[in-house]
Amino acid sequence: MARIIGGLGTSHVPAIGAAIVKGLQNDPYWKPFFDGFPPVREWLSREKPDVCVIFYNDHGLNFFLDNLPTFAVGAAKEYTSEDEGWGLPIKPPYPGDPDLSWHIIESLVADEFDVATCQQVKVDHAFVNPMELFWPGDGRPVRFVPVLINTVQHPLPSARRCYKLGQAVGRAIDSYPKDLKVVVLGTGGLSHQLDGERAGFINKDFDKLCLDALVSDPEALLGYSTHDLVKLAGTQGVEILNWIAMRGALTGRVSQLHRNYHVPISNTASGLLLLENKPALAKAA
Amino acid sequence: MSQTQDIPGTTLFDGDEAQKGLALNRMCFSFNSAENRAEFRKDEDAYCAKFGLNAEQRAAIKARNVLALIAAGGNVYYLAKFAGIFGLNVQDIGAQQTGMSVEAFKAKLLESAT
């Protein structure tokens, strides 16, 4: 059976990709951010997951407003990146796992999550930058299943709904008959706001509250409305919804193995979380 | 109007904004393609006309004014692709929207670390 070995959360802002291209990992501005990642890469190279299910939001590369799903699941053989308007380097394609994608889709729809299904997804920095951080270079040691959550256009799905989506994805993976090790990712955040006179807004207290809750009490986050999240985390800080979905997918015994938090990278408070997911204890007979 | 009474300096990009900004955002979405960016640079008026921008949107594009683009229904994720044509990143547009120099805006972000 497939098994979820852990969950990862990381920020994904475009500036990360630009810093990697320029080789700024040891630059004093960037070092406190990039120094968070070696322990996670060591864990990944030790655990060797086969598949990565990644919750993220498209930023107007794949979806336009003419046709914008609230939840969408990728089911492609491979996923390609583009320059997103900024001349970013195009990465070699990321392999998919269509069989697992369709299993997740079947399971989600049976579970009353009526997702959009995508046999083609152009992946943007919210996918590419976490890959560059966790599996640097052009090697592709894992296959991918993207799960896209709308954080572009309100109404956004609620924190509670995203958590439930994550739980349903977790159940789908747990019921997959192939013997696979799966890691789940949530990308984006933490607090930041790009638009309006409030641009540059950061809220360290709320970020810490979110990181703590994601480890040990995720349900504490489910009462925040999306409007509350905009107010507390900024218009783009709502990307915490991807992390909440990731956490929902961790169906076993969860503990924190690693965390990093650093302000600022570009306009953003950066977060990094590695959660281990051990099998739930067997119920007493 | 978008429900932002209790969050100053913030426009929620909702159904009202999305309807108002459709043509503008569609043009900015097209800037994912390098070919389209080149076409815009070659003849900005013709390119804006092709997408049917209204007068407010056209003026905001002409002025490269991010707050005016948002007021005209622009969504920041699409507008970021417009800014990219001029080599501007989110810190540049943050500075413009807050009326600060880019250095002052970056310093403000660094201060929020403490």
| Cβ contact A22:A15 at 8 Å | no
Range of the domain at B64: 15-111
Domains identified in chain B, total number:
1
> How is residue A144 written in tokens?
């991918």
pLDDT tens-digit series, residues B31-40: 999 999 999 9
Task: Judge whether B4 lies within some domain.
Answer: no
Cβ <8 Å between B7 and A198: yes
pLDDT tens-digit series, residues A113-124: 999 999 999 999
Nearest-CA distance B32 → chain A (Å): 4
Task: Judge whether B2 lies within some domain.
Answer: no
- Measured distance CA(A141)–CA(A155) in Å, rounded: 36
Give me the catalytic one of A59, A125, A258, A262. A125
Task: Judge whether B46 lies within some domain.
Answer: yes
- Measured distance CA(B72)–CA(B86) in Å, rounded: 20
Cβ-nearest to A85 among B84, B105, B113:
B84
Closest CA to B19 of B60, B47, B54, B66: B54
Spatial CB neighbours of A199, under 8 Å, sequence gap ≥ 6: A193, A267, B9, B93, B94, B97, B98
**Predicted confidence (pLDDT) at residue B3 exceeds the cutoff of 70:** no
Cβ <8 Å between A86 and B77: no
**CATH code, B105:** 1.10.700.10
User: Is ipTM beyond 0.85?
Assistant: yes
Residue A227: active-site member: no
Residue B103: count of CB within 10 angstroms of its CB: 10
Task: Judge whether B45 lies within some domain.
Answer: yes
The DSSP result for A90-109, as a single string, is: PPPPEEB-HHHHHHHHHHHH
- Measured distance CA(A174)–CA(A188) in Å, rounded: 25
Task: Judge whether B7 lies within some domain.
Answer: no
- Measured distance CA(A238)–CA(A201) in Å, rounded: 13
pLDDT tens-digit series, residues B51-60: 999 999 999 9
CATH 3.30.499.10 for domain A3-278, yes or no, is no
Cβ <8 Å between A235 and B25: no
Cβ <8 Å between A15 and B31: no
What one-character DSSP code corresponds to residue A72?
E
| Cβ contact A115:A71 at 8 Å | yes
Task: Judge whether B103 lies within some domain.
Answer: yes
Where in chain A are the domains?
3-278
Beta-sheet strand order (sheet of A78-81)? A94-95, A78-81, A122-123
User: What residues does A116 pair with on adjacent strands?
Assistant: A72
Name chain B contacts of A262, Cβ cutoff 8 Å. 113
pLDDT tens-digit series, residues B93-104: 999 999 999 999
Residue A59: active-site member: no
pLDDT tens-digit series, residues A193-248: 999 999 999 999 999 999 999 999 999 999 999 999 999 999 999 999 999 999 99
